[in-house]
Chains A and B, each alone.
Chain A
Amino acid sequence: MVFPFPFSAIVGQNDMKQALLLAAIDPSLGGVLVFGDRGSGKSTAVRAMAALLPPMKVVAGCSYHCDPAWTASQCVEGCGLRSGAKPKAETVPVPIVDMPLGATEDRVVGALDIEKALTQGEKSFEPGLLARANRGFLYIDEVNLLEDHLVDLLLDVAASGENVVEREGLSIRHPARFVLVGSGNPEEGELRPQLLDRFGLSVEVSTPKDIKTRIEVLKRRDAYEQDREGFIAEWQAEEEKTRKKITSAKNRVAKVEVPDAILETAAEFCAHIGADGLRGELTLMRASRALAAYEGKKSVTVKHLRTIAPSALRHRLRRDPLDETGATVRIERALDEMLPQ
Chain B
Amino acid sequence: MSDADLTDLDEDELRTVLWQDSLSAAALYAVAPRALGGIVVRGHAGPVRDAWLDKAKRFLPEDVPLRKIPGSISDDRLLGGLDLSATLSQGRAVASTGLLSEADGGTVVLPMAERLAARTTAHLLTALDTGSVSVEREGVSRKLPARFGFIALDEGIGPDERPPSGLVDRAAFLIDLENLRYGDIADSLVSPENVWEARALFPHVVLPDSIVESLGHTAIALSIPSLRIAILALAAARAAAALNGRTEVGPEEAQLAARLVLLPRGQGMPEPPAPPDEEQEEAPPEDSQDPEQNQDDQKDPDKAEDDKVLEAADALLPDGLLRDLLMGRGARNRARSNAGAGQMRESPRRGRPAGIRPGNPKAGYRLSLVDSLRTAAPWQPLRRRQRPDAPVAVHVRPEDFRVVRYKEQAQSVILFIVDASGSAAFQRLAEAKGAVELLLADCYVRRDRVALIAFRGTLAEMILPPTRSLTRAKRVLADLPGGGGTPMATAIDAAIGLALDIRRRGETPILCFLTDGRANIARDGAPGRPQAKEDALVSARALAALEFTTLFIDTAPRPQDAAQALARAMDARYLPLPVADAKSVNTAVRASL
B284 interfacial contact with A, CB 8 Å = yes
Q: Does A102 contact B (CB under 8 A)?
A: yes
Cβ-defined partner of A39 (8 Å) among B125, B169, B216, B273: B169
Residue of A nearest to B131 (CB): A2
Contact A101-B437, Cβ < 8 Å, known A148-B447, A209-B274, A213-B281: no
Give bound CA distance, A102 to B119, whole Å: 4
B316 to chain A, nearest CB (A): 17
Whether B268 is near chain A, meaning CB under 8 Å from some CB there, is no
Among B343-382, those with CB < 8 Å from A are 349-350, 361, 364, 366-367, 369, 372
Residue B234 is within 8 A (CB to CB) of chain A in the complex: yes
Q: How far is the CB of B496 from chain A (nearest CB, A)?
A: 26
A203–B276 contact, CB under 8 A?
no
Quick check: is A276 within 8 A (CB to CB) of the other chain?
no
Q: Mark B27-52, 1 if CB is under 8 A from A, else 0.
A: 00000000100000000000000000
Once bound together, how far apart are the Cα atoms of A213 and B132, in whole Å? 30
A-B contact pairs, 27 of them (CB 8 A): A14-B282, A15-B285, A38-B165, A38-B166, A40-B226, A98-B134, A101-B119, A102-B75, A102-B119, A102-B123, A104-B349, A114-B361, A115-B82, A118-B88, A118-B372, A119-B88, A121-B393, A145-B118, A188-B165, A189-B468, A206-B225, A208-B227, A209-B220, A210-B281, A215-B213, A215-B216, A222-B207
Question: A residues within 8 A CB of B315?
Answer: none
> A145 CA to B165 CA in the complex, in Å?
13
A145 and B213 CA atoms in complex are apart in Å by 36
**With a CB–CB cut-off of 8 A, which chain B residues contact A121?**
392-394
B542 at the interface (CB under 8 A from A): no
Q: At the interface, yes or no: B185 with Cβ under 8 Å from chain A?
A: no
Q: Are B294 and A326 in contact (CB under 8 A)?
A: yes
Residues of A within 8 Å of B215, CB to CB, are 218
Set of chain A residues within 8 Å of B282, measured between Cβ atoms:
14
The residue from B121, B274, B367 contacting A114, defined by CB atoms under 8 A apart: B367
Report yes or no: A119 in contact with B118, Cβ–Cβ below 8 A.
Answer: no
In the complex, A293 Cα to B35 Cα: how many Å?
40
Query: A211: CB under 8 A from chain B?
Result: yes
Which residue of B82, B129, B276 contacts A47 across the interface (Cβ within 8 Å)? Answer: B129
- CB within 8 Å of B: which A79-121 residues: 98, 100-106, 112-115, 117-121
Once A120-B393, A148-B447, A326-B293 are accepted as A-B contacts, the answer to whether A113 and B139 lie under 8 Å apart by CB is yes
A residues contacting the other copy or chain, number (CB 8 A): 75
Greatest chain B CB density within 10 A among A15, A114, A217 is at A114
B326 an interface residue at 8 Å Cβ cutoff? no
Residues of A within 8 A of B274 (CB): 209-211
User: What mask results when residues 136 to 171 of chain A are scored 1 for a CB within 8 Å of chain B, else 0?
Assistant: 000001100101100000000000000000001000
| B469 CB within 8 Å of chain A | yes
Bitwise, A119-139 to B at CB < 8 A (1) or not (0) is: 111000010000010000000
Which segment of A241-249, A283-291, A317-325 sits at the interface? A317-325
Q: A112 contacts which chain B residues (CB < 8 A)?
A: 369
Those 7 A-B pairs whose CB atoms lie nearest each other, nearest first: A102-B119, A39-B226, A121-B393, A189-B468, A39-B228, A100-B122, A206-B288
Question: B residues within 8 Å of A by Cβ?
Answer: 35, 75, 82, 84, 87-88, 91, 93, 117-123, 125-126, 129-132, 134, 136, 138-139, 165-166, 169, 203, 207, 209, 212-213, 215-217, 219-220, 225-231, 234-235, 273-274, 276-277, 280-282, 284-286, 288-289, 293-294, 296-297, 349-350, 361, 364, 366-367, 369, 372, 391-394, 396, 437, 440-441, 444-445, 447, 467-472, 474
Interface of B is mostly: helix
Complex alpha-carbon distance, A210 and B288, angstroms: 10
* CB of A27 within 8 Å of the partner chain: no
- Is there contact, CB below 8 Å, between B284 and A332? yes
State the CA gap A271–B361 with chains docked (Å). Answer: 51
A328 engages B470 (CB within 8 Å): no
Say yes or no: B284 contacts A104, CB within 8 Å: no
Establish whether residues B231 and A208, one from each chain, have CB atoms under 8 Å apart when the complex forms.
Answer: no
Q: How far is the CA of A106 from the CA of B348 in the complex (A)?
A: 13
Contact status A218-B369, CB under 8 Å: no
Q: B285 touching A205 by the CB < 8 A rule?
A: yes
- The CA of A212 and the CA of B274, in the complex, are separated in Å by 10
Q: In the assembled complex, which residues on chain A have CB atoms less than 8 Å from the CB atom of B138? A: 113, 115, 126
Q: Which residues from B are CB-within-8-Å of A192?
A: 447
A329-B229 in contact (CB<8A): no
How near does chain A come to B266, taking the closest CB pair, in angstroms? 16
A206 to B284, CA, bound (A): 11
Set of chain B residues within 8 Å of A203, measured between Cβ atoms = 285
Give Cα distance in the complex from A147 to B349, angstroms. 12
Please state if A190 and B469 are interface contacts (CB–CB under 8 Å): yes
Which chain A residue has the least Cβ–Cβ distance from B117? A102
Candidates B130, B349, B444, B467; contact of A2 at CB < 8 Å: B130
Name the residue in B234, B284, B392 with the highest tally of chain A Cβ atoms < 10 Å from its Cβ: B284
- The reply to whether B169 and A219 form a contact with Cβ atoms under 8 Å apart is no
- Kindly provide the distance from the CB of A50 to the nearest chain B CB, expressed in whole angstroms: 10
B386 to chain A, nearest CB (A): 16
Give every chain B residue within 8 A of A102 (Cβ-Cβ): 75, 117-120, 122-123
Contact partners of B281 in chain A: CB under 8 A: 11-12, 14, 208, 210, 213
A119-B392, A328-B285 known; A214-B293 Cβ under 8 A: no
Nearest residue, chain A, Cβ from B280: A210
List B contacts of A14 (CB < 8 A).
281-282
Known contacts A113-B139, A126-B138, A215-B216: does B123 contact A207 (CB below 8 Å)?
A: no
In angstroms, Cα B118 to Cα A102, docked, is 6
Q: Residue on A with the closest CB to B88? A: A119
Closest-CB distance, A152 to chain B (whole angstroms) = 13
Residue pair A39, B276 in contact (C-beta under 8 Å): no
A186 within 8 A of B: yes
Q: How far is the CB of B452 from chain A (nearest CB, A)?
A: 15
